[in-house]
Amino acid sequence: MPSRTMPSPATRASCATMHTAMWSISRSMCSAGVTALLAAGCLSTPPFQPESGLKYTANGPGGTVAGPGFELQFSRDPGIRFPDALRIDGTDVLGHETMPGCFGTDEAGILIAPTPRISAHGGALPVKNQLVAGLLGPAVVQVVLEWATRMACSLSRTPSGTSTFTVFPDGRIVRYDQLFDSSSAEVSANECACDRNADGSDGFTVATFWTLARQGFVDLRPSAQDGNLPAPGVTASSNVDSACLGGSAYQVAFAWPDPTSTSIVGGNAIIAFGRDMLYRDSRLDPYTWDNSTAIFIERSGCDAALARADEHVRPRPLMLNGETIVPSARDGIYGSVAGDGEHGVVLAANRAELTGTTHGSFAVWLRFPHATDALRATLDGKTGPWYLPQRVDDRAWLVWFRDPISTGQTIVIEPR
């Protein structure tokens, strides 16, 4: 059994003094620690968030991508979380039909007509409905919507898909849709029609679409009606790879790398821009479809907008350290899809030299051999916010260049 002995008075006094001294030291050190923490908290490294860049803000289950002069809003309502607003200078230009049919085009989304529209405020029953922001700006924001629904006419048919929205600071929005339905259960358009007034005689139509509000736009190019906006129910154009809806303050162009079955159709309050993957087919066999569409917000006329759209349809290759790179149809980023399945052009050294010619802005996805904390791009004569770097992970960086690159120019990208 251990014995306890009383400390001598001297020892107790020493302990008391030690206690006092230690208490003083502890208090001072705690103060120093708190001060240091406050200092550290106040002096945390800020993210690079220039006004010329993009910013993603989650809003409940939805979210918003804000760029210079525009804003793309993903719905937080109970429907499939496709965009339900596209604001340019504060004005929502996304189409909102006054009395949309249950399988008619409205806002933005997917049609598996005559089943309920798959959109923010469509009638499709969400089975899966998840919005994931993978890239958060300032150069690129990428939001992936994973959705699935179940047909009321056949519970074994559960169409699903992913829609990837990639937004750039210059108002380019690249949308890439993938649709899946592996079920071979036979379904009848008549039985699947969400509108009992419709007879389903038109069969099934599967399409992806954007709609814009008629208000605020005055002309359409190309158009069968001499540039006028198409009347409700009228198809203005089909099988075009680009189009521009012009307004006085801004213009919006569309681009389809694959122009097959594209269409521009007028509505009461909207103009619909879509592409049909299946058109009026009596059968809805198992399918896997994908489609790429791009929107360009422009302020200097439809010519400029269409030029940008044309470059999206027919991208020009660039040379990166002597290797040819092209933009991905999935997101419009040069080097986005690498051979190993990951993103980014794999660099052998911490230096990338970019040459070639583009008509407008562009983005490059790079993967450095070593962890890189800060990046610098240089081009003779260029200063200011002519490029925006964005760190993806320790090694991967996205760089968006505001201005086109011309023949003879070389952009050097390297760690700082």
Partner 1 sequence: MTVRALPLALAAAIAVLGLRAAPVDAQPDRAARQKAAAHFKQGQAFFQVGDYDHALVEYQAALDLSAEPSLVFNIALCHDRANRPEQALDAFRHFLELAPDSAVADEAREDIARLTPIVEKIRTDRTERAERAERAEQARLRAEQARRTDAARRVEPPAAPRPPSRAPLYVMAAGAAIAAGGGVMHLLAWRARDQAARAPDADTHFDRRDTLERDRPIAIGAYAAGAATIAIGVVLRYTVFRRAEGPQLSVTVMRDGAGVAMEWAR
Q: Shortest Cβ distance from residue 378 to partner 1 (Å)?
A: 9
Binding segment toward partner 1, per CB under 8 A, in 9-17, 68-76, 140-148, 354-362: 9-17
Binding positions for partner 1, 356-375, rule CB under 8 A = 374-375
Measured CA to CA, the distance from residue 14 to residue 16 in angstroms comes to: 5
Of 52, 91, 158, 321, the one binding partner 1 (CB under 8 A) is 52
DSSP string for 44-111: PPPP---TTS-EEEEETTEEEEEETTEEEEE--SSS---EEEEEETTEE-B---SS--TTS--SEEEE
Task: Tell me the helix, strand and coil percentages in the chain, rounded to 5.
Answer: 10, 40, 45
x-marked contacts with partner 1 along 12-41 as a string, rule CB under 8 A: -xx-xxx-xx--xx-xxx-xxx-xx--xx-
The residue (of 20 and 201) whose beta carbon lies closer to partner 1 is 20
Q: How many whole angstroms separate alpha carbon 264 and alpha carbon 253?
A: 12
345 is an interface residue for partner 1 by CB under 8 A: no
Judged by CB under 8 A, the number of residues near partner 1 is: 43
> Cα(308)–Cα(302) distance, rounded to whole angstroms?
10
Cβ pair 317, 285 in contact under 8 A? no
113 makes contact with partner 1 (CB under 8 A) = no
C-beta separation of 401 from 353 below 8 A: no
CA separation for the pair 14, 20 (Å, rounded): 10
Cβ 34 to partner 1 shortest distance, Å: 10
CB closer to partner 1 out of 339 and 384: 384
Nearest to 308 by CA among 293, 292, 326, 296: 296
Site map (CB under 8 A) of partner 1, residues 376-415, x = contact: xx-----xxxxxxx--------------------------
Q: 157, 168 in Cβ contact below 8 A?
A: no
CB of 9 to partner 1, least distance (A): 10
Residues 177-236 that bind partner 1 (CB under 8 A): none
Question: Which of residues 9 and 233 has its CB atom nearest to partner 1 in the complex?
Answer: 9
Residue with Cβ nearer partner 1 (322 or 384): 384
Query: Residue from 44, 98, 300, 324 that binds partner 1 (CB under 8 A)?
Result: 44
The minimum distance between CB 136 and partner 1, in angstroms, equals 16
Nearer residue to partner 1 within complex by CB, 12 or 314: 12
Rounded CA-CA distance 8/220 in Å is 99
Give whole-number Cα distances, 183 to 120, 156, 284, 342, in Å.
25, 7, 9, 30
Instruction: Rank residues 16 and 326 by Cβ distance to partner 1 and give the closer one.
Output: 16
The kind and range of the H/E element at 10 are helix 9-42
Tokens 């802005």 sit on residue: 361
294/333 with CB nearer partner 1: 333
Q: Alpha-carbon distance 18 to 24, whole Å?
A: 10
Q: Which of 50, 61, 123, 216 binds partner 1 (CB under 8 A)?
A: 50
Nearest approach in angstroms of CB 400 to partner 1 is 10
CB neighbours of residue 91 within 10 Å: 15
Contact call for residues 195 and 114 (beta carbons, < 8 A): yes
45: contact with partner 1 by CB under 8 A: yes
- Using the minimum distance from each CB to partner 1, give the nearer residue, 285 or 393: 393
- List residues binding partner 1 (CB under 8 A): 10, 13-14, 16-18, 20-21, 24-25, 27-29, 31-33, 35-36, 39-40, 42-52, 374-377, 383-389, 416
